[in-house]
Amino acid sequence: MDGITIKQALRQAQHTLYGNAGAQIDSELLLASALGCTRTHLYTWPEQVLTTSQQSYFDSLLDRRVMGEPIAYVIGEREFWTLTLRVNRHVLIPRPETELLVEMALSILPAQGQRVADLGTGSGAIALALASERPGWEIYASDLSADALRVASDNALSNKLGNVFFAQGSWCEALPAGPLHMIISNPPYIDPHDSHLSQGDLRFEPRSALSAEESGIADIRTIITQAPTHLSPGGWLLLEHGYEQATAVRALLVSRGFQDVRTLQDLNDLDRVSLGQMPS
């Protein structure tokens, strides 16, 4: 029997994923990934016939998506800022709201000569977005997980970003000597008892990147405690946190001596990022 065409494969996949939000876009992403082509190609060449191996590879990707695996893991990539980042189950899937940290860092710091660290970098999203915008900065990216650091350094290579230096270790312990102008982190902050951890995409993401003790605040507390000894006078700390944690995070920042402490809202108008500055 002849193989099926691109058009037929898309129709079948949409039928299989029917009921999943985003069935059409997922079908396109999966087929483009299986064929190694762009989504535009699918609509330019709808009559192209899949080879047997393309079809069975496509079926295997579709099966994984049907089992609930996040689309980013199945196709192995996710867009963040202007970059395409490789992702796998060792790293959190970059979220759009995390771009708020990148925007703030770019707007606060001078364009030249800054030393900045991204703690718990995962796929490298924050560090690499900053590196792409500010080739003159020295950026340090740390993670406790060697598997995550492999993903992040692959992403630095594939995006041709040379000004990011990777180090393995826990929060500020991985940082080099010498003061930094800014420390940024999107640490784990979900309460371990939160039922969302057993739903949707979160089921497949590394638990250590999502959830922290003390109702989710433990790692944020550690970072706030450690950061001042690594920051220059006037240096900044920027943290992503849960939408109900802003008051607690601001209190921790103030009690550790940070000034100008404030919280910013994400695109959904939820408290998402808090920041503070060391006295100069």
Residue ranges in contact with ligand GLN by CB under 6 A: 92, 95, 186, 188-190, 210, 240
Nearer to ligand GLN, 62 or 71 (CB): 71
Cα separation, 19 vs 14, in Å, equals 9
CA–CA dist 146, 168 (Å, integer):
7
Closest CA to 164 of 180, 152, 147: 152
Q: Which amino acid belongs to residue 266?
A: D
Q: Which of 109, 146, 142 is nearest to 126 (CA)?
A: 142
Query: Which is closer to ligand GLN, CB of 76 or CB of 96?
Result: 96
Q: Minimal distance in Å, beta carbon 198 to ligand GLN? A: 13
Under 8 Å between Cβ of 146 and 168: yes
The residues near 121 (Cβ < 8 Å, ≥ 6 apart) are: 127, 141, 142, 143, 148, 149, 152, 166
Alpha carbon of residue 94 to chain centroid: 2
Closer residue to ligand GLN (CB): 188 or 276: 188
The helix/strand/coil state of 168 is strand
Nearer to ligand GLN, 9 or 93 (CB): 93
Q: Least distance from C-beta 1 to ligand GLN, angstroms?
A: 44
φ and ψ at residue 44, rounded to 5 degrees: -80, -35
Considering beta carbons, is residue 10 or 148 the nearer one to ligand GLN?
Answer: 148
Q: Which is nearer to ligand GLN, 4 or 197 (CB)?
A: 197
Q: How far is the CB of 250 from ligand GLN (least distance, A)?
A: 18
Round to whole Å and give the CA distance between 9 and 264: 44
Closest to 133 measured CA to CA, from 170, 104, 168 = 104
Q: Which is nearer to ligand GLN, 4 or 190 (CB)?
A: 190
Separation between Cα atoms, residue 159 and residue 97, nearest integer Å: 21
